[in-house]
Amino acid sequence: MPQPLATRAPAKINLTLHVLGRRADGYHELESLVVFAGTGDDLRLEPGGTLALAVTGPTALLAGSHADNLVMKAARLLAERVSGLKVGTFCLTKRLPVAAGIGGGSSDAAAALRLLGRLNSLPLSHPALREAARLTGADVPVCLEPRARMMRGAGEDLGPGLSLPRLFAVLVNPRVPVETPAVFKALGLQPGQGLPAAAHPVPEAPSPDALLALLKNTRNDLEPPALQIQPLIGEALGLLRATDGCRLVRMSGSGATVFGLYDDCDAAARAARQFRRLRPDWWVKATSLR
């Protein structure tokens, strides 16, 4: 019997997200410093038979139908490009909130491509794998090799892996989905129109303080339109900012998840406990980012 293959699908966090402009095809040119969390979904692949998916876990029911699952979309796109691709049954343990600005579905899709790559001896640099990632969604390429890097273009233009200090964070989501296309639409850019550019090159191996100083001079341009659509994001930002030891708060991606940064693991754990007392029904997670 072939051994099942397994991988983690970590949450993606946009520490910065500058929208440079809107292209003629409607997509937006981005510049984003992306990192990955210690928390995420889990994906297993049991090789053999036809392509199938089973989803369990606390947010399984929110992830939509199996046919529309991004795991299946990525696998189908790869199978269309690699003849005789060996497949099997994917078992997804879904824990991350859905439509939450932390790329859960994208990270699941990228995890599926990693596992199929392993099963079929395809390196992550294989053109079919890269193309399947890009066609699955704008955030999938950066999730293929989940490590800190700059992401540009619509998401396909990736910088080299960055050596960042580990950051200690609390992630908060009010458990309300926010749809990405609606947020980009609410930004209100016309094709060809841009926002003021503000390049933010990351120095080689910055200290935690240097990284924090850089983050304070940057933004998430999707925060204002997302706040218009879902005012609970403003509440999340305000409550998190007020937790003890919080150094910076910001929304990730198109929301609604927001993150707070703290000096160390204990401060983040304390803040998460403090926050849970205020909003016991929300998703609150202390984690590290890098």
Ligand X SMILES: C[C@@](CO)(OP(=O)(O)O)[C@H](O)COP(=O)(O)OP(=O)(O)OC[C@H]1O[C@@H](n2ccc(N)nc2=O)[C@H](O)[C@@H]1O
Contact residues: ligand X, CB under 6 A: 14, 17, 27-28, 30, 32, 101-103, 106, 137-139, 154-155, 180-181, 184, 253-254
User: Is 99 one of the binding residues for ligand ADP (CB under 6 A)?
Assistant: yes
Residue nearest to ligand X (CB): 253
CB of 9 within 8 A of CB of 102? Answer: no
Can you tell me whether residue 109 is helix, strand or coil? helix
Residue list 214-243, contact with ligand ADP (CB under 6 A):
none
The answer to whether 222 and 251 are in contact (CB under 8 A) is yes
Stretch that binds ligand ADP, among 16-24, 69-77, 157-165, 279-287 (CB under 6 A): 69-77
> How do beta strands 88-93 and 52-56 pair?
parallel
Contact (Cβ atoms closer than 8 angstroms) between residue 105 and residue 73: no
12 belongs to the catalytic site: yes
Binding partner of 27, given ligand X, ligand ADP, none, CB within 5-8 angstroms per partner class: ligand X
According to the annotation, is 160 in a ligand binding site? no
Please tell me which residue in 73, 94, 108, 139 is annotated as part of the active site.
139
The entry of ligand ADP, ligand X, none near residue 138 (CB within 5 to 8 angstroms by kind) is ligand X
The residue nearest ligand ADP at its CB is 105
CA 37, chain centre distance (Å): 9
Instruction: Pick from 98, 195, 248, 269 the residue near ligand ADP by CB under 6 A.
Output: 98
Taken in order 234, 95, 12, 99, the sign of the CA dihedral is negative
| Residue 194 assigned ligand-binding role | no
Residue located via tokens 């999340």: 236
Strand-pair partners of 17: 220
Chain centroid, CA 126 distance in Å? 22
At residue 70's C-alpha, the angle toward residues 237 and 285, to 5°, is 30
Nearest to 217 by CA among 244, 171, 250: 250
Is 108 a residue of the active site? no
Binding residues for ligand ADP, rule CB under 6 A, total 20
CB of 253 to ligand X, least distance (A): 3
The annotation status of 97 as a binding-site residue, yes or no, is yes
> Which residues of this protein are in contact with ligand ADP, per CB under 6 A?
63-64, 68-71, 98-106, 108, 139, 180, 253-254
Question: Which parts are annotated binding residues?
Answer: 97-107
